[in-house]
Amino acid sequence: ADRAFSSVSRAWRNCQRDTSDIKELVPEFYYLPEMFVNFNNYNLGVMDDGTVVSDVELPPWAKSPEEFVRINRLALESEFVSCQLHQWIDLIFGYKQQGPEAVRSLNVFYYLTYEGAVNLNSIMDPVLREAVEAQIRSFGQTPSQVLIEPHPPRSSAMQLSPLMFTDQAQ
């Protein structure tokens, strides 16, 4: 149960400290507060420290799953995120996904996650083939690289009038 998603802060901490712990924020983080509540009281196991896994533990600033989702959506749709979106596109789908730019951007993953890294049909040893397939199933694959040049930034009000977005109450 220690590998189960049971705490937002624990998942964040683990991703920051452990290079083999890779997570993605699925779309449900931004619209589905129910995903954080174990309404059916399923037995999700017990952590090594004895904690029963049930509802997802939210950060202290989120008083409810609804508030957590609302604030996440506000952040995702913010002007700041819009101004940075091209950088995310470059990392996930673009020129920083593989090669020297990926290395410079600390965006390198295990070789089996990359499209075309291994030809499953060429693996004749059934045990090895099953091991490779299990690795891919368990840890996923990076998306197809679709861009080889930097994605242009989105035009935004923040670029046109940056003072509008600063705290001037100093």
**Mean pLDDT for the chain?**
88
Ramachandran region of residue 50, left (φ > 0), alpha (ψ -120 to 50) or beta?
A: left
Please write the tens of the pLDDT for every residue from 30-69: 999 999 999 999 999 998 888 899 999 999 999 999 999 9
What's the predicted TM-score (pTM) here? 0.71
Q: What's the rounded mean pLDDT across residues 155-161?
A: 68
